[in-house]
């Protein structure tokens, strides 16, 4: 993938607003960035959902949230309760963290059942399953991807960004190879530049999680205008 237009790239972005230390003013600034650049969605902390829905009303930007975040070790019942509350608050997409320890232990049936319960609770809304690839080997990533499909989720996702590592093109390709056409791949963690975004899309991702949307799309805008991309960035990403 040589280039992608600003608008096409914006349609792949989930703007992350997840750091625990963010104040309401910080959250508002990020929500305004998402609206200004017309990204696909924001991914906010569960407690921020009602405010995000209100502030983004009429912008066309969807509001998503995280479930079992960031470790995935909450019970299935707790994850289901989180989804139900988030739905009631207005969220329309759910990024759940897989039970990482269960996956590493080989408890495949438990992992698939955990995913399936969240998918059912989401009532037809988009569910993404975060594997946390930095904590897994290739076999576990491949198996986790297949279990994501078995559980009925819409996306398999690389990372939370809170485990010391993020997406790599190699892991995105591995995930893409282990799910059917009905499951998409989301790359998140370390997607900080236009070049990073292109690499992840080229590897097979169709959605990108980042807190650097303005930097990435600003670079895409310059490319659209015929300016050479420098790849230089100054942004953090989840």
Choice among 14, 48, 79, 157 that is catalytic:
157
- Is 19 one of the catalytic residues? no
Angle at Cα 102 formed by Cα 97 and Cα 105, nearest 5°?
A: 140
- Is 186 one of the catalytic residues? yes
Q: What is the DSSP letter of 238?
A: -
Domain assignments of the chain as residue spans, ordered by start? 6-224
pLDDT given at position 234: 35
What is the b/e burial string over 150-170, where b = at least 16 CB atoms within 10 angstroms of the residue's CB?
bbbbbbbbbbbbbbebbbbbe
237 has a pLDDT exceeding 50: no
Query: In angstroms, how far is CA 187 from the centroid of its own chain?
Result: 7
Choice among 48, 128, 186, 196 that is catalytic:
186
Least confident of 22-31, 41-50, 62-71, 227-236: 227-236
Q: Give the DSSP H or E segment for 13.
A: strand 13-17
Beta strands 184-188 and 207-210, pairing class: parallel
**CB–CB of 34/61 below 8 Å?**
yes
- pLDDT over 70 percentage in the chain: 95
Superfamily, domain 6-224: Aldolase class I (3.20.20.70)
pLDDT given at position 3: 82
Mean pLDDT of the chain: 94
Average pLDDT value for residue range 112-126: 98
**CA dihedral sign of residues 113, 117, 119, 124:** positive
For residue range 205-233, what is the model confidence (pLDDT) as tens digits?
A: 999 999 999 999 999 999 999 876 544 43
**CB–CB of 237/166 below 8 Å?**
yes
Which residues, including other chains, have CB under 8 Å from residue 59's CB and lie 6 or more apart?
Answer: 34, 35, 38
Average pLDDT value for residue range 123-148: 98
What is the b/e burial string over 104-134, where b = at least 16 CB atoms within 10 angstroms of the residue's CB?
eeeeeeebbbbbbbbbebbeebbbbbbbbbb
**CB–CB of 86/94 below 8 Å?**
yes
**CB–CB of 50/101 below 8 Å?**
no
Residues in the chain: 238
pTM of the model: 0.93
For residue range 156-211, what is the model confidence (pLDDT) as tens digits?
A: 999 999 998 889 999 999 999 999 999 999 999 999 999 999 999 999 999 999 99
Average pLDDT value for residue range 99-109: 98
236 has a pLDDT exceeding 60: no
Relative orientation angle of helices 213-224 and 194-203, to the nearest 10 degrees: 90
Choice among 14, 95, 154, 196 that is catalytic:
95
| DSSP-derived 3-state class of residue 209 | strand
Q: Give the DSSP H or E segment for 41.
A: strand 41-44
- Is 38 one of the catalytic residues? no
Place of tokens 């470790």: 71
pLDDT given at position 164: 85
CB atoms within 10 A of CB 173: 16
User: CA 75, CA 68: separation in Å to the nearest integer?
Assistant: 8
How far is residue 81 from each of residues 37, 56, 132, measured CA to CA in Å?
32, 24, 22
Would you place residue 235 in the very low, low, confident or very high pLDDT band (cuts 50, 70, 90)? very low
pLDDT given at position 238: 44
């Amino acid at each position: 993938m040589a280039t992608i237009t600003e608008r096409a790239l914006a349609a792949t972005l989930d703007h992350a607003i997840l750091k625990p230390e963010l104040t309401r003013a910080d959250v508002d600034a990020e929500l305004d960035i998402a609206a200004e650049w017309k990204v696909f969605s924001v991914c906010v902390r569960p407690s921020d959902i009602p405010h995000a829905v209100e502030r983004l009303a009429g912008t066309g930007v969807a509001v998503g949230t995280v479930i079992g975040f960031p470790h995935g070790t909450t019970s299935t019942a707790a994850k289901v309760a989180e989804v139900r509350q988030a739905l009631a608050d207005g969220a329309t997409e759910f990024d759940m963290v897989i039970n990482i320890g269960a996956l590493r232990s080989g408890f495949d049936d438990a992992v698939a059942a955990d995913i399936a319960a969240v998918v059912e609770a989401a009532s037809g809304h988009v569910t993404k399953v975060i594997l946390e690839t930095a904590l897994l080997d290739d076999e576990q990533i491949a198996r986790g991807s297949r279990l994501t499909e078995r559980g009925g989720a819409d996306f398999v996702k690389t990372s939370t960004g809170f485990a010391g590592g993020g997406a790599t093109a190699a892991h995105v390709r591995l995930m893409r190879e282990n799910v059917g056409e009905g499951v998409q791949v989301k790359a998140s963690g370390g997607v900080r530049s236009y070049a990073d975004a292109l690499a992840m899309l080229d590897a097979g991702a169709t959605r990108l999680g980042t807190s650097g949307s303005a930097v990435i799309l600003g670079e895409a805008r310059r490319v659209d205008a015929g300016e050479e991309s420098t790849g230089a960035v100054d942004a953090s990403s989840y």
